[in-house]
Amino acid sequence: MLKRILTAAVGLAAMSAGALAQGYPTRPITMIVPFAAGGPTDVIARIVGDHMSRTLGQQVVVENVAGAGGTTGIIRGAQAAPDGYTIMMGHMGTHGAAPALYPGLKYDPAKSFDPIGLAAGTPIVIVARKDFPAADFKGFLDYAKQNDSKLNQAQAGVGSVSHSTGVLFNSVVGIKPTLVAYRGTGPALNDLMSGQVDFMTDQIVNVAPQISGGTIKAYAIATPERSPALPDVPTTKEAGLPGYEVSAWNAVFAPKGLPKDINAKLVEALRAALADSTTRKRLVDLGGVVPDASGQGPEALQKLVESEVARWTPVLKGAGAGN
């Protein structure tokens, strides 16, 4: 008898999970962006989320939950119900650098999530206020070495992309500027444009339009090749700092334990977004690198996260930023 009741109960639970997944989504989906509006993570989330909304038949609504270099929003996302109604846009900082910098971090980038897929690669660009007194990257490095104590460097909080790539930059160049923290590089960019801070290292999708518009200066891009979005900006190697090559990325994660069909729907919606020519163009025009088929999907993202945590931990410790 008991066995029959139990079997029936298990059957019911399985059915309701199945029915839940079948109807999914029946209401809007929240995508947590762990930084301020207007920055690169926010921009990529809105571009990708826009197309995912169309595939899923429900709005993907961005919620900005900034703080602690992006870890505040990601903790919130990791602890949300794994029902497909809360997902998040993480990045190289929250899912790569953060464990080296937050000893008690309340999530494990490789274990606390169901990875959905990579959204875009984002090369790092070294940018400065437009009246920075150096004509090229070499001049910038010379000036920075002589005046580093007077320089203000913007970044989006400990463990963020701008912070970790910025700390690495300072260590490679041998400078110690003052770090100024923002809730994202969207607001940091506003202060760079108005000349309140001197420079930052940031994801290309945030800064490309302002570089093209001449409201800030780009000294170099930290990738082996130039970006088609910024063809006039030299690589760090071309410009004389080959030891500084670094790239970031943004990716969609869900809290661990999603029902299989819901997981599959989200993976497919992201895949469809990246296959859509208008969505791709919006990312590429900003300098984003759309992953090819082998770089898309949960497995590739899981591998990327594991390799990024392994890569960043010694790098940040070596740069004097680790614990």
User: Rounded to an integer, what distance in angstroms lies between the CA atom of residue 278 and that of residue 255?
Assistant: 29
The residue among 206 and 263 lying less far from ligand ASP, judged by its C-beta, is: 206
Amino acid found at 120: A
- Minimum Å gap between C-beta 30 and ligand ASP is 17
The residue among 36 and 269 lying less far from ligand ASP, judged by its C-beta, is: 36
Distances (CA, A) of 213 to 129, 186, 203: 13, 16, 17
- Minimum Å gap between C-beta 76 and ligand ASP is 16
β-pairing verdict for 178-181 and 152-155: parallel
User: Rounded to an integer, what distance in angstroms lies between the CA atom of residue 192 and that of residue 204?
Assistant: 15
In the complex, the residues that contact ligand ASP under the rule CB under 6 A are 35-36, 39-42, 93, 156, 160-162, 184-186, 202-203
The residue among 156 and 267 lying less far from ligand ASP, judged by its C-beta, is: 156
- Minimum Å gap between C-beta 162 and ligand ASP is 3
The residue among 83 and 202 lying less far from ligand ASP, judged by its C-beta, is: 202
The residue among 40 and 255 lying less far from ligand ASP, judged by its C-beta, is: 40
- Minimum Å gap between C-beta 246 and ligand ASP is 12
- Minimum Å gap between C-beta 2 and ligand ASP is 54
What are the CB-based long-range contacts (under 8 Å, 24+) for 178-182?
Answer: 178/149, 178/151, 178/152, 178/153, 179/153, 179/155, 180/152, 180/153, 180/154, 180/155, 181/155, 181/156, 181/157, 182/36, 182/154, 182/155, 182/156, 182/157
Q: Which residue is nearest to ligand ASP (CB)?
A: 39
